[in-house]
Structures are given as structure tokens and as C-alpha cells.
Amino acid sequence: MIKTDILIIGAGPTGLFTVFEAGLLKLKCHLIDALPQPGGQCSEIYPKKPIYDIPAYPEILAGDLTDKLLEQCKQFEPGFTLGERAETIDKQEDGTFIVTTNKGTKHHAPVVAIAGGLGSFEPRKPLIHNIKDFEDKGVEYIIKDPEIYRNKKVVIAGGGDSALDWSIFLSDVASEVTLIHRRNEFRGHLDSVEKVQELKNKGKINLVTPAEVIGLLGDEKVSGVVVKQAAHIEKEFEIECDHFIPLFGLSPKLGPIANWGLEIEKNAIKVNNALDYQTNIPGIFAIGDVNTYPGKLKLILCGFHEATLMCQAAYQIINPGKRYVLKYTTVSGIDGFDGTRKEAPKAVVKSIE
Amino acid sequence: MEQDINIKITDRDGVTHNVLAPTDMAMNLMEVVRSYELAPEGTIGVCGGMAMCASCQCYVLSDTQLPEMQDDEEAMLSEAFYVKDNSRLGCQIQITPDMEGLEVELAPES
């Protein structure tokens, strides 16, 4: 069981900044995220795109914002449960919560802050009539363990970075890699596209374009795919394979959080914005893009503000009646949980003769 | 309000809405749909309008002259589902005065 003061669901910018604000109040944080890396949408969807409305940054790349937030909260030693989705929440008799992920990891905390953005990212599944029959029987939407493809025949579908990158990677692992895409053009980093071209020329990747997988073959397990080629002459043919990996990106879904008994409106969690962004369940807060209230704006900078106020309320729950006044970091410095201290340099006192 | 244009938008339940869209606020079609709440929040414009999610895919029903498709829109549509010959990404269609009478239908959520 992982124990912490504030359990944050979602490791996007709002969740990461919460770690910093909580740390100033000597509260420790642990974050759960369904994605394998912190940063949320900023890292997953648009790491190389600029953001222009982060105060004091005229321009910052989304990926760099994640790096800066991680650096800023580093001394408060956040814990991470990554690649797992928060599934259930159980309120204990003492008012604390146990949150369990889809992989069974349990987290215990007196305060839960949902900073889940638009929800957890789920793979987008192609519209192939019998694909459901083969899920986990040779069809994988996410590659978790590349070793299962060793010496197997693999068909990958998709035209983005993950389709390109995994085709490259698996060309050294699998016995046969076929990449199928609806167009001849791929959208991905130039070096990935060039690498696939090189591997295709060497015969290490079979490239089938423009084409689409329209059906799966097999009894208990995938044994092949039906491909429809749409060049000048339309034709259908079969490719023998052990695995079919459709990589069509991820789309966020509110997911299991929707069943936690929280008041939901417009796919977002209703909170008390006059006070502390608490939900209808005391001890559970919702901050950032995942919440809603009159006048809500889904902006990173609003998430930062909400996180800051939420931490003050969390402090009161965790330390009932304990006195505290807001301090400026410039005055008090920052004492990390790792023993480090950051502080303003002392002024020089020297007489002028 | 003379800069406003009339657009017909059929939502995902098949209901057609006649809406007024401003042409002077740098709005795109996806944002017009959101401003009238014709699709639930979180099911449209997920990526914010970067042509990176296809949640704003729509079918263009009128023969209105629209801006030419750029590479990123074409690439995204080639990976999206339910794509038809008249598919466009709403986020890539900036509302301009000459789009008066535009008729679109939202593609299913995927």
C-alpha cells in the first residue's frame, strides 16, 4: 500500500504543480497516471507545440513545460504510479481514501485531488467488425512488452509516430513486420520516416500503402488479416500474422472516475469554486481541466490557481486546527523533503566610505 | 451583427441547428459547435484545434467554397475513422463571410 498526504490523479501540468504547492505546506504527494510518462496531454499529444499563455513565458514548448514543472517540484519527492488507471475509490471509516488502479496497486491518502484533464487516454480502436473477438488474442492496441513479438509475424496499422517507431523497433525483434497505412504519406518525425524507408529498402519492413485492414482471421487467435488495397485497382488479400497492432492514437475518456459518485456535468466534475474546488464528496477535490463551475476556463494557468487554493484546504483536512499563514517563497525559501534548501541570497551590508 | 453568417449544423443525434457564427472573432467551425454546445464538452475539440485528434470531423453537405486542406489535416483524416470523401476537420475551417449558407453534419464520436 502506497501512503501519501495528497493522492493526485493525473500527472499533467496541474497535478505536477500541486506537488510544489503541497510541498510548501509540508504535504507529500503521489501521482497516478494512465500514461507511461508524466506531463499529460502536454507530453502525449503535443510535446513539440508552443504554448503562449503561461505567465512569464512568452513561448514555451509543451514538453519543456512538463520538464520545468518536474524540476520545480523535484525536491518535494513526488511518487508516481504510471501506466495505471485509477479504477476505484473506497472511503474508509476514518474519512481517508483507498484508490486502487486497474493493475491492483493500492494508494491510501486523506485527500484525493483529481487532476485528470479530459480523462485517461484510451487507444482508439479501428472499426473492424470482428476486432473485439481477438482482443488480447493477438490484437494489442498498446505495446507493453515488445518481447512477446520475438520471432513472430506482426502487422502494424497506422500512420503516425507510434506506428513508425514500433515498426522500426520490432523489425529487430519480430520475424516479420508489415506496416499498413491508408496513404503513402506518413506523419511523423522525418528521421522515423527515413528510417522506415531504409528498412523497407532492406526488406526488413513490408510496407503496404495505401491500404486498410478490414477483417481479422483466426479461430482462437489471430492468424492473419484481410487487407484492402485502394490504389488504382481495388483488391483484397490476406496477410498471415500472429499479431495485429492497430496504432491510431489515444483519446481521453473520463472513464471509471465517472462512477465514483461525484457530481458530473458536461463530462466534468462539479466543484465549489467559491472556496476550495472540493467536489460533492468531502476530501475529494477536482482541479484543472477535469472540473467545472460557472465561468470555468480550461487553461493550464487556471489549473495552477485551483491547485494552489486546493492545497490550503487539504492542509486543513490533514492538520485540523493547526495554524498557518501564507509565506512568500522569496522570504522563506524552500526546504525540500530531500534535505535541500533554496533561499534568496542575503543582502550585503557594507558601509560606503 | 452584420459580420455574422448563417450555418446549418446537424449534430450527432441527427438534429439540424441553424446557428449564427461570427466572422470577426477568428473562430473555426469546431469552436462554433462548442459555443452552441451542439456536442458534449470533451467529445469535440479534444486536442484544442491542432488537427491532432479528429474529434471535430464533419461532413460538408453544401457546395460552399472552403479553404484548401493542409497537410496536417489530410494526415489526421487519413488516420481517423468514419471518414468520407466530404470529411473535413472543423478546427481547420476558419469562419469567413463567404461561408454563408454552409451546411455540415458532425461525424460520429470515435
pLDDT tens digits for range A176-210: 999 999 888 888 788 999 999 999 999 999 999 99
In this structure, the answer to whether residues A216 and A242 fall within a common structural domain is yes
Q: Do A159 and B47 touch (CB under 8 A)?
A: no
Per-residue confidence band for A112, with pLDDT thresholds at 50, 70 and 90: very high
- Min CA distance, B42 vs chain A (Å)? 6
Q: Does A185 touch chain B (CB under 8 A)?
A: yes
Domain range spanning residue B60? Answer: 5-106
In this prediction, residues A223-248 reach a mean pLDDT of 89
Per-residue confidence band for A352, with pLDDT thresholds at 50, 70 and 90: confident
In this structure, the answer to whether residues A100 and A145 fall within a common structural domain is no
In this structure, the answer to whether residues A135 and A244 fall within a common structural domain is yes
In this structure, the answer to whether residues A258 and A274 fall within a common structural domain is yes
Q: For residue A154, is it within any domain?
A: yes
In this structure, the answer to whether residues A39 and A100 fall within a common structural domain is yes
Q: For residue A348, is it within any domain?
A: no
Higher pLDDT, A233 or A48: A48
Closest CA to A170 of A140, A141, A142, A150: A150
What is the total count of domains within chain A?
2
How would you write the pLDDT of chain B (110 residues) with one tens digit per residue?
A: 567 999 999 999 999 999 999 998 889 999 999 999 999 988 899 888 988 889 999 999 999 999 999 988 988 898 899 999 999 999 999 999 999 999 999 999 98
pLDDT of residue A249: 84
What is the total count of domains within chain B?
1
Residue appearing with cell numbers 484544442: B48
Q: Does A233 touch chain B (CB under 8 A)?
A: no
Q: Which of B42, B52, B110 sits opposite A118 (nearest CB)?
A: B42
Domain range spanning residue A67? Answer: 2-121+251-342
Pick out the residues of the known binding site of A for FAD. Answer: 14, 33, 41, 46, 86, 121, 289, 330
In this prediction, residues A45-58 reach a mean pLDDT of 92
* Separation in Å, CA A100 to CA A1, A39, A91, A113: 10, 21, 12, 14
pLDDT of residue A169: 96
Residue where a domain terminates, one of A248, A269, A289: A248
Is a pLDDT exceeding 60 seen at residue A13?
yes
In this structure, the answer to whether residues A9 and A97 fall within a common structural domain is yes
In this structure, the answer to whether residues A18 and A106 fall within a common structural domain is yes
Q: Which of B42, B71, B75 sits opposite A159 (nearest CB)?
A: B75
- For A131-177, the pLDDT digits (tens) are 999 998 999 998 888 999 999 999 999 998 889 999 999 999 999 99
In this structure, the answer to whether residues A268 and A189 fall within a common structural domain is no
Q: Does B35 touch chain A (CB under 8 A)?
A: no
Per-residue confidence band for A269, with pLDDT thresholds at 50, 70 and 90: very high
pLDDT of residue A242: 97
Q: Does B25 touch chain A (CB under 8 A)?
A: no
| Orientation of helix A13-24 relative to helix A62-73, angle to 10° | 20
Q: Are strands B102-106 and B5-10 parallel, antiparallel or unpaired?
A: parallel
Contact criterion met (CB below 8 Å) for A123 and A141: yes
Q: For residue A352, is it within any domain?
A: no
Domain harbouring A198, CATH code? 3.50.50.60
- For A275-284, the pLDDT digits (tens) are 999 999 999 9
Residues on chain B touching A252 (C-beta within 8 angstroms)? 42, 46
DSSP assignments along A32-48, one per residue: EESSSSTTTHHHHT-TT
Residue where a domain terminates, one of A196, A224, A248: A248
Cis amide linkage into residue A282, ω under 30° from 0: no
Q: Which of B43, B55, B79 sits opposite A248 (nearest CB)?
A: B79
pLDDT of residue A122: 84
pTM of the model: 0.82
| Helix, coil or strand: residue A243 | strand
Higher pLDDT, A348 or A306: A306
* Three cell numbers written together for B28: 473555426
In this prediction, residues A303-330 reach a mean pLDDT of 95
Domain harbouring B74, CATH code? 3.10.20.30
Q: For residue A349, is it within any domain?
A: no
Q: Which of residues 81-110 of B touch A (CB under 8 A)?
A: 81-82, 110
Question: How many other C-beta atoms lie within 10 A of the C-beta of residue A77?
Answer: 14
Q: Does B50 touch chain A (CB under 8 A)?
A: yes
In this structure, the answer to whether residues A230 and A259 fall within a common structural domain is no
- Min CA distance, A340 vs chain B (Å)? 38
Q: For residue A105, is it within any domain?
A: yes
| Average predicted confidence (pLDDT) for chain A | 93
* Separation in Å, CA A167 to CA A21, A28, A190, A300, B79: 42, 41, 15, 34, 16
* Separation in Å, CA A205 to CA A33, A169, A211, A336, B72: 33, 11, 15, 50, 25
In this structure, the answer to whether residues A150 and A299 fall within a common structural domain is no
Residue where a domain terminates, one of A215, A248, A281: A248
pLDDT of residue B106: 97
Q: Do B50 and A248 touch (CB under 8 A)?
A: no
In this structure, the answer to whether residues A310 and A262 fall within a common structural domain is yes
pLDDT of residue B1: 55
* Percent of chain A residues past pLDDT 70, beyond the cut: 99
Name beta bridge partners: A106.
A100
